[in-house]
Structure formats: structure tokens, C-alpha cells
Amino acid sequence: MLDDDHREHTAIVAVSVDPPEQIQVMKDRVMRDYQVAIDFTILTDENHLVIDRYGLFNPNESKRRPVPHPTVIIVDRDGVVRWKFTEVNYKIRPTNADILAALAAVQGGDP
């Protein structure tokens, strides 16, 4: 979750290959199992056009359901990618501290 200061200058958007119906099922499951509402936008990229554009398609995953490499990208207000974390192993993710530090660097402040 972002604090109020970060919310003023930051938008979180997730991109998934899942159709909207499956995204809603996942959001409902997170609410039911963890009592946490997903309060950011999740866009569907069923044909993985955005995923392909960023070179994130994972060719080693299931052929019936394409899965991208997990990635966090920070894009500035001009549309320039300023920070990117991609990992082939889906279990390895950046920490919240890593992401907040990268946001601070883009915004020119402290995390």
C-alpha cells in the first residue's frame, strides 16, 4: 500500500494475461482469504501485446496460458521507463523498500 504522499504522485497498474472475469475471481479470493482489497488497476493483456512490447513473455511456461516474467516497472510522467526489475524465478520479487527507493529516485526525494 502507498502512503498518502506517494498516492498523490504515483499510480499502480498491474497487467495480466488473464481475462477480466479471472482477474475479478482473483480479487475476490484475496479479499476472502486475506481481508485485503486490491485497490489498484489490473489491466488485461490477453494477447500479451504489452508483455511482448516489454520483452517479458516467458516461453517456458504453459502453452495454453502464456505467463510473463514477473516484473515491476517505474515509468515517469513523460512515459520513460526509469526503473525495471524482472526475474525469471517468479518467487523472487523486489522488496517494498526497493520499489519505494526507486520511486523516490524518480521523484527526487526520500523513500
Walking along the chain (111 residues) 10 residues at a time, the average pLDDT comes out as: 73 88 95 92 89 84 74 87 88 89 80 56
pLDDT at 61: 67
pLDDT at 63: 67
pLDDT at 20: 95
Position 61: which residue type? E
pLDDT at 26: 94
Q: Report yes or no: 22 and 49 within 8 Å, Cβ to Cβ.
A: no
Cell 500479451 belongs to which residue? Answer: 48
Q: How far apart are the C-alpha atoms of 62 and 51, rounded to whole Å?
A: 15
DSSP H or E run through 5: helix 4-9
pLDDT at 62: 65
Task: Domains for the chain: give ranges and CATH numbers.
Answer: 4-107 (3.40.30.10)
pLDDT at 75: 86
101's CB contacts (< 8 A; 6+ apart) are 111
